[in-house]
Chains A and B, each alone.
Chain A
Amino acid sequence: MGSSVSPDDVRFTADLEVGVDLALGRLGSRALAQLVDLALLFVVAFGVIPISAALVPAAIGARSVTLFMVLMILLEFGVFLGYFVLWELLWDGQTPGKRLLGLRVVHSDGTRLTLTACLVRNLLRPVDFLPFGYGIGLLVLVVTDRSQRLGDLAAGTVVVREARATDANAPRRWPERIRAGDAAMIEAFFAEAPTLLPERRERLAGEIMAFVRRDYPGFLADDAPGRSAWDTVREAFRPTAEG
């Protein structure tokens, strides 16, 4: 499973002994997800808590001030570790940052994150954070072949990238006996098409049109004057209606 050959980095053995390949969350997306989470934490730790610590005691009686201070101390303590533990339990392996980046924590056999594993990976977070800014975590993450930090290794978890909606687009019309490689190439073209410049898209559509005419004669409509290659190709491989 060389990462340069296939986009699939980790294989789980699912039911009936069938392997399921999934892409791992790599350094970039995980770092971004972490930044989002830390930003949220920052708002809570340096915004919400101090502001309420300043405002609330004035509003309540002196007797409850002690209780309030105790709550604040416990909150300050629990917020860094508790944030990750609670979100990952509540959202089944996702934090707000991970959800935004399409990442999810699962056991390395593909099953759902359990309480113990969640505690192990998150209570080791401070060690991964050493000496600062996830130094140790980053080092371990780049040298392990499944992109795990220390906490992941200890908990037996991996962070995977979930398929996006665009990966599962509607089934389309196909020529009889199309080769898998050709189908994959045409699917990749349609997935990329919305991001291409019109002239480039038109040139690629022209190349596809020529090759489909050669290999699968009779599938494409005949040339009509003034009709673009993109329209011809799009029409031929149009999504099939439900059914």
Chain B
Amino acid sequence: MKKTHFKKTALKYKDLVYSQAYYFINNREDAEDITQEVMMKLWRQIENIERSYVKAWLLRVTRNLCIDYSRRRRDYSLDDQNMESDGVQIAELIDPQANPEKEAINRDSLENVLKILNQLPEKMRNIVIMRDIQDLTYNLIAEAMDLPINSVKVYLHRGRKYLMKKYSDIENQSE
């Protein structure tokens, strides 16, 4: 019974957790490790979590683990920040069917957005990912972040404006 419920929940939300971790941490291996840790925690706690709260709980645990991983990475790697993610992994985000010119523009654009997304402060970054990439509701984000909806909107607005400014700086530099 427990395992069936766990399996169903894990399969349903694995992409949500993985995406959140991937965009936050910007590293595929770490995102896989985080997803596994989240799922192990889910296994231990699943009987104590209300079913209506599972999604928010998963996002909350993912967020905490992402913060831990970021701290560790900051401690151990000061210079090679996201070296592999900037090149290899961006290519995987691009639709292989797209035409080469469009692909090049998309690639640059995504690279830049990912790069600046990674510079956002933790709360803003999590909220922007949840709202604008994962398309989650304000209610769910507020629950996951343990913030009132209005605060979520404020962080989101600031995050978007920060990204806008940084993005235009990068665009201006490359011109």
Q: Are both chains from one complex?
A: no
Seen from chain B, the residues whose Cβ lies within 8 Å of a Cβ on chain A are: none
Q: Enumerate chain A interface residues (CB-CB to B < 8 A).
A: none
